[in-house]
């Protein structure tokens, strides 16, 4: 399915910092040593480019030992900047940078995240959306993918459904609203907390899917949306053993989708559709329906 917008669609961009710290921007594929100074990214939403135009001249106010910088627009329209640093003491200059952005008529929540640590909001909205949790970077197309996945899943009312790799719980919320008995699994505790705050009641487990399988009830239907690496072999083995009637697999990497299908020999591929979630790139989002073969 083609995207309606091929430019100005992306709600998150991650910028690299050159080794000498003088340039912040992007770099050619597999050439992280060639960071070029970014002026404008044509696939990012205008709200993020307005933020970047205000932030670029304020480089001297950003945290020391900066490694990456993430710009993000959340579903409520809130803007975020996540400063990922290599190490060091907590950054105390967030308030000053925030004030300078406000002087330029730009508002954003600023986050400081040390290497291997948890991001912490240092300036901006007190109750901000957690800027580091996973959401689709092309929201309109993400909604289409979700709607198609649930259409393939079929009637879920009253049925036991797993929502694996559930993120902030958007699919869980739709399933619960349809009357399904949903159990969702997500490894990011902040995403689970956000799902609890925004969505209807459901049984939510926090942890890696392969680690919590023993705590789940046998499903009749399954929706799975793993990261690019696909599902752990322990997960496919459990699905093969438990034998839910239908399994809808949402994948951001056709190669790992194909690998995982070979690990589910008891299922037949009944439907497959690709969505252009990432225009101007070689990546697609794929939705597959698997039905029990016997």
Q: CB neighbours of 86 closer than 8 A, spacing ≥ 6?
A: 65, 67, 114, 115
8 Å CB contact between 1 and 145: no
The phi, psi pair for 247, rounded to 5°, reads -135, 120
- In the structure encoding, which two tokens stand for residue 180, read together? 């399904």
Distance (Å, whole) CA 141 – CA 240: 30
Question: How far, in Å, CA of 19 to CA of 202, rounded?
Answer: 46
**Cα 194 to Cα 127: distance, rounded to the nearest angstrom:** 11
Q: Give the integer Cα–Cα distance in Å for 99 and 93.
A: 10
Copy the structure tokens of residue 149: 């996945």
**Catalytic pick from 71, 73, 122, 252?**
252
CA atoms within 13 A on the CB side of 35: 19
Which of 208, 253, 209 is CA-nearest to residue 228? 253
Q: Among this protein's residues, is 252 annotated catalytic?
A: yes
Q: What positions carry a catalytic annotation?
A: 252
């Amino acid at each position: 399915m083609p995207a309606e917008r091929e430019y100005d669609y992306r709600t998150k961009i991650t910028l690299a910092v050159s080794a000498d710290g003088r340039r912040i921007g992007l770099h050619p594929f597999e050439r992280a040593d060639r960071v070029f100074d970014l002026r404008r990214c044509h696939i990012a939403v205008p709200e993020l480019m307005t933020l970047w135009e205000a932030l670029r001249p304020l480089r001297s106010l950003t945290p020391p030992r900066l490694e990456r910088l993430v710009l993000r627009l959340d579903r409520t329209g809130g803007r975020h900047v996540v400063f990922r640093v290599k190490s060091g003491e907590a950054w105390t200059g967030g308030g000053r940078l925030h004030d300078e952005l406000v002087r330029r008529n730009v508002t954003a929540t600023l986050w400081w995240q040390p290497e291997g640590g948890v991001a912490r909001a240092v300036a901006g909205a007190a109750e901000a959306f957690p800027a580091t949790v996973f959401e689709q970077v092309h929201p309109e197309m993400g909604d289409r993918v979700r709607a198609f996945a649930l259409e393939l899943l079929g009637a879920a009312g009253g049925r036991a459904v797993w929502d694996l790799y559930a993120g902030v719980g958007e699919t869980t919320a739709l399933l619960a609203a349809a009357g399904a008995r949903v159990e969702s699994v997500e490894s990011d505790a902040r995403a689970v907390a956000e799902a609890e705050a925004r969505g209807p009641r459901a049984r939510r487990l926090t942890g890696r899917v392969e680690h919590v399988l023993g705590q789940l009830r046998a499903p009749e239907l399954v929706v799975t949306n793993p990261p690019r690496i696909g599902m752990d072999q322990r997960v496919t083995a459990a699905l093969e053993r438990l034998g839910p009637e239908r399994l809808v697999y949402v994948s951001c990497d056709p190669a790992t989708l194909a690998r995982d299908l070979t690990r589910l020999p008891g299922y037949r591929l009944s439907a497959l559709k690709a969505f252009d979630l990432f225009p101007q790139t070689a990546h697609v989002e794929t939705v597959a329906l698997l039905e029990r073969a016997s």
